[in-house]
Amino acid sequence: MVDATGDERVAARVEPAAAAARLRLRRSLGVTGLAIALVAGLALAGAFLPLATALDIRNAIGLAVFALATNLLLGYGGLVSFGQAVFYGAGAYTVMLAWQHWDWSFWAGFVLAPFLGAALALGIGVIALRTRQLYFALLTLAFSQLAFVLAQQQHEFTGGDNGVFGEVLPAWLADERQGYMFTLGVAAVCCLLLWRVVTSPFGLTLRAIRENRDRIQALGVNVFLHELVAFAISGFFCAVAGVLFVVHTQSAYPQLLEWTKSGEPILMAVIGGMFAFLGPVVGAFVYTLGQQELVQQTQSWKLVLGLILLAIVLLRPDGLVGLLSSRPWRRLRRRPAPARDGEGER
């Protein structure tokens, strides 16, 4: 047996790495192309669809940011948090309370809100991330319920159950079509930034922690710090989604902080596919627009929606986006080429 030469050994090592690099490039280009097409399609929808439909889509766009931010913990970090509504509601309340009590402009509140969301996430994360699995979920739920009760009880400051509402937006942004385009632009920037996070070495480490926390910790990785940073990043973008809610409604109220609100982006991620980057976006649109349609069709819309969600979880655990990678779908996309003359006859 003849030993492989040095060049052959180098080539044997380089070829798998080059193939992996090409695969990553194709995936990146695919996601980028899909995102560009999605943004372009949504922009056209906002410009030409009836206003009522455009407003429903605008609401779904804002919730898509909420779902993407939550899925940084759920899909990439393996952390089920029922406290993300704290940061979502904090984003909305920051804009409205700063405008009501201190006469701040919308833009000042917009700048402050994400950093306040990240700061709250750091504070909660330092405590909650000391626990794991069920205890972590319950502790984040407790923080969310605490924020909800505080917002209800502080009538003089938060308006209690009535919340805070008023014309906080500048005149041009108060226009429904302009508000739609603004929401879409902010959501696109958030999507790009979160994509950079999950494809960075930090994002890869976060996924490794999800797969085998103990092994990664044994390798010397500071697991707690990575999860805390992910929690803060998620809080930052959840607060941005809360600001987009203000653009949609010009209001903030205690139900935005309730733990059940935290369940919505989790459902969206599960519906769309928590292990695909754009899965939560798909889930947000299906959940929001589907709910709007069901409300108009039946009084038992909650039951119907629950059955649909149950069917998706049981039949498609990887979400609707997982259909694209299923075998029947691949066979439809990759039809066999017609046989040439003489081929097939042996």
Domains of the chain: 23-330 (1.10.3470)
Instruction: Specify the residue for token string 């009836």.
Output: 50
How is residue 256 written in tokens? Answer: 């935005």
Nearest of 189, 231, 236 to residue 209 by alpha carbon: 231
pTM to 2 decimals? 0.88
Distances (CA, A) of 47 to 7, 42, 174, 180, 300: 59, 9, 16, 9, 33
Rounded percentage of the chain residues whose pLDDT exceeds 90: 72
Q: Using CA of residue 234, residue 240, residue 245, residue 251, what is the dihedral sign?
A: positive
Per-residue pLDDT at 342 exceeds 60: no
| Residue 133: burial class (beta carbons within 10 Å; 0-12, 13-18, 19+) | exposed
Per-residue pLDDT at 65 exceeds 90: yes
Nearest of 272, 277, 287 to residue 317 by alpha carbon: 272
Give the pLDDT of residue 346: 38
Q: Which residue has the higher pLDDT, 134 or 345?
A: 134
CB 68 within 8 A of CB 194: yes
Tens of pLDDT, residues 194-216? 999 999 999 999 999 999 999 99
Tens of pLDDT, residues 91-138? 999 999 999 999 999 999 999 999 999 999 999 999 999 999 999 999
How is residue 265 written in tokens? Answer: 């982006």
| Gap between the Cα atoms of 336 and 343, Å rounded | 13
